[in-house]
Structure 1
Amino acid sequence: MDTQPNIRSYVIDLADQLGIRYQATPEDALADIATRLAGDEVVIDEIEDLLVALKRTGAINGNEMVTLLGQYLDEKFSER
């Protein structure tokens, strides 16, 4: 059994410890509209939002965000 916490739990715990929550910005709304108008469907979940919030606040840097996002998506889609 793997005793290492999963990425989902790690991100939630990190955000909780730092008191960080995702808050949508006007730019996020614009990106959603542009995506919809382009005919694309992008569904972002709470963990991806938390990663954005962690990056915006400087709790993680861009490289860490990309690494954590990649690991999270691997974890998410391997469970299916």
Structure 2
Amino acid sequence: MTEIPKSGLKSFVARLAKEHNVQIETSNHSSLARIITRLSGDNVTPDETERLIIALRKAKVIDDKLMVEILGNYLNELNGNRSEGNI
């Protein structure tokens, strides 16, 4: 795999998923997890890119280490854009 970029992660993840025919699937377990999270008072809603990153891991396209790196870079990019008022 190529080096994980520090920016443009949304496009990178979408392209990687497309290359490997990976799509977001909602399972009963993920639906239950969202309900439990909501009931516990946490407001955690992964966006499409975050869900694709998880789907890439479940499909074994990436390993745990790459998943954390991609997700970290993606969240850093999002937070950087939010602090600059771009999102």
CA offset digits 1:14-69 (Å, max 9, x no partner):
00111110101111011011111101111210000000110000000011000000
Q: 2:71 aligns with which of 69, 72, 76?
A: 69
CA distance in 2 between counterparts of 1:32 and 1:43 reads: 8
Moved over 4 A (4+): none
Q: Which residue of 1 aligns with 2:48?
A: 46
Q: Which residue of 2 aligns with 1:29?
A: 31
TM-score, L = length of structure 1: 0.90
CA distance in 1 between counterparts of 2:33 and 2:71 reads: 19
TM-score, L = length of structure 2: 0.83
Which amino acid letter does the alignment assign opposite residue 55 of structure 1?
R
Q: Which residue of 2 aligns with 1:60?
A: 62
CA distance in 1 between counterparts of 2:35 and 2:25 reads: 17
Query: Would you say how many aligned residue pairs link Structure 1 and Structure 2?
Result: 77
TM-align CA RMSD: 1.2
Gaps of 5+ in 1: none
Q: Which residue of 1 aligns with 2:85?
A: none
Q: Which residue of 2 aligns with 1:16?
A: 18
Which amino acid letter does the alignment assign opposite residue 27 of structure 2?
T
